[in-house]
Amino acid sequence: MATVPMAYFLAFLLLEAMIIADPDALQDFCVADTSSSTIFMNGFPCLNPKLAASAHFTTSILRRPGNQSGIPFGFRVTLVTPQALPGMNTLGITLARADVAVGGVVPPHTHPRATEIIFVLKGTLTVGFVDTANKFFSAQVKKGDVFVFPKGVIHFSQNIGNKTASMIAAFNSQAPGAPVISLNTFASSPAIPIQVLAKSFQISVTEVAKIRKNLGIGGQVQRRKQGGEAKSQQRELGGEAGVRSGRPLGLYKSQSGTGCIRGLTGYSDRVQIFYQSINVGLV
């Protein structure tokens, strides 16, 4: 006789837990600043509904293909953000257009806060992901094809055709995040200890330095040998400028694409321009 009431009670507890659960975070973390009047929240503050207009709910930002030149891996992402489409704020969705040059690669990365589904506009790509059991799933997709990347898995896209490939990507988050595995590992700020990387990848310290150099983060090992490791790392990673700004990586722009980027973020222009190709609005 007590079984049915207990079942109702457990169902009530489950429903209550679902109702009071926190919403998915759009930031990686939210440190409370009790002395600041600045608001950091999941999304942007809302416009007075009386001021809303039709123009807030439409954008043509995805009409134009992105320019892939000057990007180390040969791709450009154009992301729909609340700045371009104010009406999408807090709706938990976003769209992006990716244009990948011949031979270009959208390198292995994840979206920790979203599932991604792509629709190929033109070209031929190899796409794939690795699940938590280390199983690799892959497909060759062409115009009109659809592929889905589950939330949080490491995945990539490669243009294997003889012309630029383009695709539309949809995410079930306003800010899905886009940590790139190689750059997060070898180009973090501050840097992951070089001995940790050497041991983790079973390579030498010299090989770690070579990878960093190839990614535009070079010269760190030599400066450490000369002494003053902390100061060397600060110079290499641009000091505290990026930290003080409070802005996520990839939101800084330069009219020429070079120069001021390094000073603001600590990354070389080459790496930072790459980050701009994928992280603007995704972080």
DSSP string, 137-200: EEEEE-TT-EEEE-TT-EEEEEE-SSS-EEEEEEESSSS----BHHHHHHS-SSPPPHHHHHHH
- Residue 13 phi, psi (nearest 5): -65, -40
Structural tokens at position 43: 């999304």
Rounded CA separation 98/96 (Å) = 7
The CA-atom distances, in angstroms, between 170 and each of 96, 109, 120, 200, 260 are 6, 16, 12, 34, 32
CB 107 within 8 A of CB 128: no
Rounded CA separation 209/147 (Å) = 36
Residue 154's DSSP bridge partners are 130
Q: Measuring CA to CA, which residue among 128, 171, 131 is closest to residue 153?
A: 131
Tell whether residue 56 is among the known ligand binding residues: no
Tell whether residue 111 is among the known ligand binding residues: yes
pLDDT in tens, 177-221: 999 999 999 999 899 999 999 999 999 999 999 999 988 775 444
- Give the mean pLDDT of 244-254: 30
* pLDDT value of position 99: 96
Q: Please give the model's pTM, rounded to 2 decimal places.
A: 0.69
Confidence of residue 25 (pLDDT cuts 50, 70, 90): low
Average pLDDT, the chain: 74
* For residue 107, cis peptide bond before it (omega within 30 degrees of 0): no
Long-range contacts formed by 263-266: CB under 8 A, 24+ apart: 263/238, 264/238, 265/189, 265/238, 265/241, 266/189, 266/236, 266/237, 266/238, 266/239, 266/241, 266/242
* pLDDT value of position 46: 79
pLDDT in tens, 116-145: 999 999 999 999 999 999 999 999 999 999
CB 163 within 8 A of CB 102: yes
Rounded CA separation 233/239 (Å) = 8
Name the range with the highest mean pLDDT among 27-36, 186-195, 226-235.
Answer: 186-195
Q: Measuring CA to CA, which residue among 218, 176, 160 is closest to residue 194?
A: 218
Confidence of residue 72 (pLDDT cuts 50, 70, 90): confident
The more confidently predicted of residues 46 and 221 is 46
* pLDDT value of position 83: 83
